Amino acid sequence: MHAKSDDDLIGSLLVHYKIHFEKGDFATFRYRPWSIKMFITLLLISVDTIPPVISNCDDGLDLTQGNPGNAMYETHENGSITYYWSYPQAEDEYSETLNITTATREEGDTLFYPGRNKVTIGFQDEAGNTAICTFEVIVSKLH
């Protein structure tokens, strides 16, 4: 006995539905209404257009305005400071893994010299969406 596929049925008809959901997901259903078997294909394609969300993006520090009050830093004889800041973190709705694309400072790098010290940390999700944290630490000689 030879079993025929649905494609061998005479006059077969393919019914095709496409249902859209939130955030670009969709499902595709197809079947041949008079066949013995019903075939359902569910295909979810997610289109990620949402960038990662950054937390702990520092406000920076401007010592030209005097002591900012709650900033945690130590001064050194050469005019530099050790400024204790939290390294930014990022989360993404779709991606489990985020890449750091830009880092002008490594985590734990707390030494800043007189002048304008720009800190930039960039994150990228698996879909290529990016988010950037940028702040400045402005140090003036404190003698």
State pLDDT tens for residues 2-11. Answer: 444 444 444 4
How many domains does the chain fold into?
A: 2
Residues 41 and 80 in one domain: no
Q: Which of 47, 62, 79 is the last residue of a domain?
A: 47
- Residue 34 tokens read as 């008079």
Whole-Å CA distances, 69 to 15, 39, 111, 116, 119: 69, 68, 19, 20, 21
Whole-number pLDDT of residue 30: 53
Residues 112 and 85 in one domain: yes
Residues 132 and 67 in one domain: yes
Q: What is the pTM of this model?
A: 0.64
Residues 4 and 62 in one domain: no
Residues 114 and 76 in one domain: yes
Cα–Cα distance, 51 to 129 (Å, whole number): 5
Q: Which of 47, 65, 81 is the last residue of a domain?
A: 47
Residues 41 and 94 in one domain: no
Residues 38 and 93 in one domain: no
Residue 124 sits in which domain range?
53-139
Whole-Å CA distances, 91 to 52, 98, 121, 125: 5, 8, 14, 9
Sorting pLDDT into bands at 50, 70 and 90, what band is 140?
confident
